[in-house]
Amino acid sequence: MSIQQPVQNRESAGAIAPLADAKKPATAFCLIVDDEKGIRSLISRSLRDHLVMTEGCGDAQSALEAMKLRTPDLIFLDVSLERSDAIDVIRGLGEMKYRGPVQLMSGRDVVLLEEIKRVGEKYELRMLPVMKKPFRADVIPGVLQQVGIERRPAGSPDAAVGLFEALCAGWIDLCYQPKFELRGGKMIGAEGLVRVVHPIRGVLPPASILVEADDASRLALAECALLKALKDWEIFNQAGNPLQLAINVPMVALQKLSIAAIVREQRPPSDRWPGLILEVSEDQILRDIPVAHEIATHLSIYNVHLAIDRFGSGHGSLGTLREFLFVELKINSSFVTGCADDTNKRKLCNAVIELAHRFGRHAVAEGVDNAQDLRALTEMGCDIGQGPVLGRTVAKEQLTALIRQQAKSLRIIGA
């Protein structure tokens, strides 16, 4: 998504396009500029079948903003756009000194199209033969071949599996780890965790695709997770529990993505929606507290709140927390594991819990994996817990089934 443009003006296969200065992935990137959403979708689907990432724009301004994020390997360009036209785009490409191929497409008369093509050539663009509308999706592979973009079917055994490829092919999904009130035992939320489902190799560990991922692809992953969490909430709500979902995002995603705009446009319409929690690690928040505070304040307008993840791993202080809006302090799992028997860990957990309560916030223990630690955390007054002893990470379908089962049990009890 564009940092400035409304989300309806641009759409991408998975998320935002990688930044121009990032290491260029092997997979190609195409920009589709057309005021007809159906045309954008038609081209995008065909390109994604060949593991080509796409971004669609409906107007010249959005297209040129997209160009600042990543230089496309190919541009599909319609003549008539929203509040603009192909000449506006061509002039902008010329100013940016873009030298890549441009596939002009339109149903207008041939003479006009050829003149527009000549204007593009004047700006030293590589103007391909005009593609007349309407056209079929099966002509798109021929355009790729013409400009030298390798055709590589998604899911082929020899295809390299990286984050960029997984986003293109739609292999990214969320699984969920339930969060429980420690005193009442009620499931009140869930943390969405990224998983990669390859059509041939099955579920892959996220770490395997993140090792060589560029920063911009990580941003794309954050946006993808955000959109999926908003969509999945409606499934859980219909099953009987309006869980408050949480996802982990890097600080750079809070700064670069239009999260407020995304939530404003994509949030569930239900009055039962409890909002969303974005978890950011303590060390990243500490790098720029004023910026973090501004972002947290802005997002709270849209019922999106920040949690400080892995608290205790950095060098946070009481003074730091005074300047930052948050809803949860998540105790680092390294302190949680063994806190029942280790005096030092118990003291650390207790200190974090007291600190959270001092600010009127919840303390969340993550990685709770045995009954002894669970009992100790409950006695210390910890509010929420997550981990294997409470509920293992499951696919959204399994969590949905669990919610339905619990809702059915409550109805029976109340009958």
Non-local CB neighbours of 145 within 8 Å, separated by 6+ positions = 151
> Domain 163-414, CATH 3.40.50.920 — does that match?
no
pLDDT at 14 over 70: no
230 pLDDT band (50/70/90 cuts)?
very high
Helices 259-266 & 289-300, crossing angle to 10 degrees? 10
State residue 315's pLDDT score: 52
Average pLDDT of the chain to the nearest whole number: 85
Question: CA–CA separation, 386 vs 110, rounded Å?
Answer: 63
Which residue did the predictor score with more confidence, 346 or 152?
346
Pick the CATH number of 7-147 from 3.40.50.2300, 2.160.20.10, 3.40.980.10, 3.30.420.40: 3.40.50.2300
Q: Distances in Å between the alpha carbon of 232 and those of 181, 227, 238, 302, 400?
A: 21, 9, 10, 18, 10
Residues of the chain with CATH 3.40.50.2300: 7-147
State residue 16's pLDDT score: 34
Residues of the chain with CATH 3.20.20.450: 163-414
Is residue 225 packed enough to be buried (19+ CB in 10 Å), middle (13-18) or exposed (0-12)? buried
Q: What are the tokens at 38?
A: 């159906």
Q: What single letter denotes the amino acid at residue 14?
A: G
State residue 117's pLDDT score: 95
State residue 68's pLDDT score: 82
Non-local CB neighbours of 341 within 8 Å, separated by 6+ positions = 372
Give me the phi and psi of 104, to 5 degrees please: -75, 140
